[in-house]
């Protein structure tokens, strides 16, 4: 994040819940600017310094909206494309007896949803936190 070509051109979003809080503190001590996203219940979001509380429903609605509008598509030769799609298919919406919505996610052969949640976090950040440069480029050595 501190070196070219990323320096000053991107924003890092990490999972700031659980052990992610410790990671956020370590990054902050190293002057790595970032947002620490914490998934909470609900359908809204709130920024508190570097921490951002995001309702899981809101997070996934952002992802769904970008798919529906065609603003998000995957290249056919995208590495992990099939794994991402398989993870996205495991999300389920259920309701409690009190009428509250609960989003659950199942496991796939590739894991338990880390890739799809990372995608949703990145899209949330680009749509709601740091709007700015939008472009297309080649991401190398990401996986």
The answer to whether residue 43 sits within a structural domain is yes
* 100 vs 60 pLDDT, higher one: 60
Residue 143 pLDDT: 46
Rounded distance between C-alpha atoms, residue 36 and residue 114, angstroms: 15
Instruction: Classify residue 2: in a domain, yes or no.
Output: no
Inside any domain, residue 143 = no
Does any domain span residue 87?
yes
Supply the pLDDT for residue 53.
95
pLDDT score of 132: 54
Indicate whether 117 belongs to any domain. yes
Rg for the chain (alpha carbons), in Å? Answer: 16
Nearest-10 Cα torsion for 31, 16, 117, 124: -70
Instruction: Give the chain's domain count.
Output: 1
Output the pTM of the full model: 0.73
Q: Is residue 56 one of the residues assigned to a domain? A: yes
Residue 42 lies in a domain: yes
Alpha-carbon torsion (123, 128, 134, 140), positive or negative: negative
* C-beta atoms surrounding 28 within 10 Å: 14
Quote helix, strand, coil % in the chain, to nearest 5: 35, 20, 45
40: domain range? 12-129
How far does CA 18 lie from the centroid of its chain?
16
In a domain, 100, yes or no: yes
**Domain of 103: which CATH number?**
3.30.420.240
Q: Averaging pLDDT over each range in 40-44, 45-49, 64-68, 93-97, which range is the top one? A: 45-49
Q: What is the Cα–Cα distance from 91 to 81, expressed in whole angstroms?
A: 17
State the pLDDT at residue 112: 65
């Amino acid at each position: 994040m501190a070196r070219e070509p990323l320096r000053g051109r991107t924003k890092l979003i990490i999972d700031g819940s659980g052990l992610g809080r410790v990671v956020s503190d370590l990054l902050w001590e190293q002057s790595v600017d970032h947002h620490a996203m914490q998934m909470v219940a609900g359908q809204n979001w709130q920024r508190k310094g570097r921490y951002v509380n995001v309702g899981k429903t809101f997070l996934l609605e952002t992802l769904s909206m970008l798919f529906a509008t065609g603003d998000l598509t995957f290249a056919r030769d995208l590495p992990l494309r099939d794994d991402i799609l398989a993870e996205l298919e495991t999300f389920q919406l259920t309701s409690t007896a009190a009428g509250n919505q609960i989003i659950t996610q199942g496991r796939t052969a590739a894991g338990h949803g880390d890739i799809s949640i990372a995608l949703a976090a990145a899209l949330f950040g680009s749509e709601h936190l740091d709007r700015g440069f939008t472009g297309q480029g080649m991401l190398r050595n990401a996986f």
